[in-house]
Amino acid sequence: MRMTITQKILAKHSGKIFVEPGELIMAEVDLALANDITGPVAIEEFKKAGGRKVFDREKIALIPDHFAPNKDIKSAELCKALREFAKEQQIVHYYEVGRMGIEHALLPEQGIVLPGDLVIGADSHTCTYGALGAFSTGVGSTDLAFAMMTGKCWFKVPETIKFIYHGKPNPWVTGKDLILHTIGEIGVDGALYMSMEFTGEALSYLTVDERLTMANMAIEAGGKNGIMEPDEKTLEYIKNRAKRSYEIFVSDDNADYSQIIDYNVEDIQPKVALPHLPENVVNVEEAQNISIDQVVIGSCTNGRLEDMRVAAKVIKSHKVHPYVRLIVIPATQQVYQDMIKEGITEVFIQAGAVVSTPTCGPCLGGYMGILAKGERAIATTNRNFVGRMGHPESEVYLSSPAVAAASAIKGKITHPAEVTSNDI
């Protein structure tokens, strides 16, 4: 009975020896997650269904990150609903402003998500945790309400596409570039309701932060989840974070895949996704004369410490273009503190950037960087749909932190090699 890592995790959590693609199962969850937008809806449904007590107050995470710190009265009410429910139910993993971070960066950082876990979240980028060898996927608020009551959720076991990345990445090529290249190749529906299993020697050159970026964007190809087998880097990452036991799963050598796709990463250069879809991917050189008004370095995709280090390396000793807004948003309070300790925050401020408290903010057109009509932004975020960051006639370009930082200096989309002689 040959199974992929995704099948094995789903089988274990549904009490089965074997599950096959297309099979409907009911599985126990290790963590159910919501934020200040989706959480209040799930809480309302929980109460409508007669819910009184959550199934396990240690297996629910409520993170106010999208419009927090509160940007207006409506967002204040949403955050209040989350806070009051967390207090009423004595939710262990509730993180208030000042302690919180962007959910998909905070939970791995704090060791709340571990290899072998089954995680659901009322947010599409819950797939991030697959970088640690967990099955994690986004669900609707109603499914989340059911999980908060019962500790279970239903799934259709997905087929798996195996992506093998061969070779060593070129200078300035990061996990963001690898996943953008992949989405550009297969399209935004190329892995619709499929598990995207990332493998190959190239991944060994990536930091865990970069791997989290790759898994985070699986949903941008339509994927049900993105996942990687844990290795020594994974175990080192969780060694001092894990506060409970976990189980490592790996795919069988002869597991069945719906498709196997090979990439030679030595052929991949830094990428940019043009408006208005993440699949509109080109090499940076093909977009180099496009002027920009705003740069955002942050989000659940690229707001971790390694992202900040790379961006600071590019921008050090330079100034932000006089007509460009550079907004830097650490993904968590820990990232913010580490940036200060390492002098990264000072590099950004001296260059002319603004450094924000952790928040999703501008990524979803929330606040802290809304675009006006006709404006263009290059961002390390994950989506560039029409109106994603503001006016429907604005434009968003997606890139790695290195490309974003170089672009902030030049005022146009720029390859990082143009502003620094050093490689990452």
The two tokens of residue 262 are: 């090979």
Rg of the chain, C-alpha, whole Å: 20
Between CA 101 and CA 185, with CA 226 as vertex, the angle to 5 degrees is 115
| pLDDT for the residue numbered 276 | 94
| pLDDT for the residue numbered 406 | 97
Averaged pLDDT, groups of 10, the chain, 424 residues long: 95 97 97 96 95 96 94 95 96 94 96 97 96 97 96 97 97 97 96 97 97 98 97 95 95 95 97 96 94 97 97 96 97 97 97 96 92 97 94 97 97 93 66
According to CATH, the topology of domain 5-263 is Aconitase; domain 3 (3.30.499)
Q: Please state the pTM of the whole predicted model.
A: 0.94
| pLDDT for the residue numbered 235 | 96
Nearest alpha carbon to residue 375 among 290, 316, 301: 290
How would you classify residue 44: left for phi > 0, otherwise alpha for psi between -120 and 50, otherwise beta? Answer: alpha
Handedness of CA 175, 228, 329, 36 (dihedral sign): positive
CA separation for the pair 354, 335 (Å, rounded): 16
| pLDDT for the residue numbered 289 | 85
Between CA 104 and CA 111, with CA 109 as vertex, the angle to 5 degrees is 105
Q: Which amino acid is at 46?
A: F
CB atoms within 10 A of CB 236: 10
3-class secondary structure, 48: helix
| pLDDT for the residue numbered 419 | 86
Same fold for the pair 5-263 and 270-418: yes
Contact predicate 1/255, CB 8 Å: no
Got the DSSP string for 322-344?
TT-EEEE--SBHHHHHHHHHTTH
3-class secondary structure, 249: coil
According to CATH, the topology of domain 270-418 is Aconitase; domain 3 (3.30.499)
- Name the residue ranges covered by the structural domains of the chain: 5-263, 270-418
The two tokens of residue 55 are: 């199934």
CB atoms within 10 A of CB 245: 7
| pLDDT for the residue numbered 420 | 85
Contact predicate 391/377, CB 8 Å: no
| pLDDT for the residue numbered 33 | 97
| 3 state SS for 100-114 | CECHHHHHHHCCCCC
| pLDDT for the residue numbered 300 | 96
